[in-house]
Amino acid sequence: MCLAVPAKIIETDGQQAIVEIGGLRKQASIVLLPEAVTGDYVLLHAGFAISMIDKKEALETLLLFEELAPPGGRPGLSGPGPEDGDLGLKETPAADDE
């Protein structure tokens, strides 16, 4: 029930915003996250943006995982690859998940 998914803010109008999730656009409320502006990634829960997603923190976490990845294993942040399981950083928006 506490599911939240990453969503990108496409535009804002007062307390309302259009967000994009997995290529779909929908309306959301930013009344609980008034600092959200166009271009931000947020966590969306039950139609409300509830938290900003911090890009630097996300990259630090990914780099930590990268350091832990097996030597000679998957390509890293600088070398995105197509196969499953890499850390390929695609320019696609977040996919909706269940």
Partner 1 sequence: MNNLPVLSYLDEFRASGPAGRLLDRLHRRPERPVRIMEVCGTHTMAISRHGIRQASPAWLRLISGPGCPVCVTSNYDIDSFIEMSLLPGVIAASFGDMLKVPGTRMGLGGARARGARVEIVYSTLDALRLARENPDCKVIFFGVGFETTAPTVAAAIAAARQSGASNFFVYSAHKLVPPALSALCRMPGLAVDAFLCPGHVSAIIGADPYRPLAERGIPCVISGFETVDILQSLNMILDQLDSGDCRVEVEYARGVRPGGNPAALEMMNSVFAPCDAGWRGLGTIPASGLTIREEFAAHDAARVFAVDASYSREPAGCICGAILTGQKIPPDCRRFARTCTPDHPVGPCMVSSEGTCAAYYQYEFQD
Kindly state the DSSP code that residue 15 receives in the 8-state scheme: T
Q: What is the smallest separation between the CB atom of 83 and partner 1, expressed in angstroms?
A: 10
For β-strands 5-13 and 24-29, DSSP reports them as: unpaired
User: Which positions from 68 through 97 interact with partner 1, judged by CB under 8 A?
Assistant: 68-70, 73-74, 77, 80, 84-95, 97
In angstroms and rounded to an integer, the radius of gyration of the C-alpha atoms of the chain is 15
- Interface contacts to partner 1, rule CB under 8 A: 1-6, 29, 31-35, 41, 43, 45-48, 50-62, 64-66, 68-70, 73-74, 77, 80, 84-95, 97
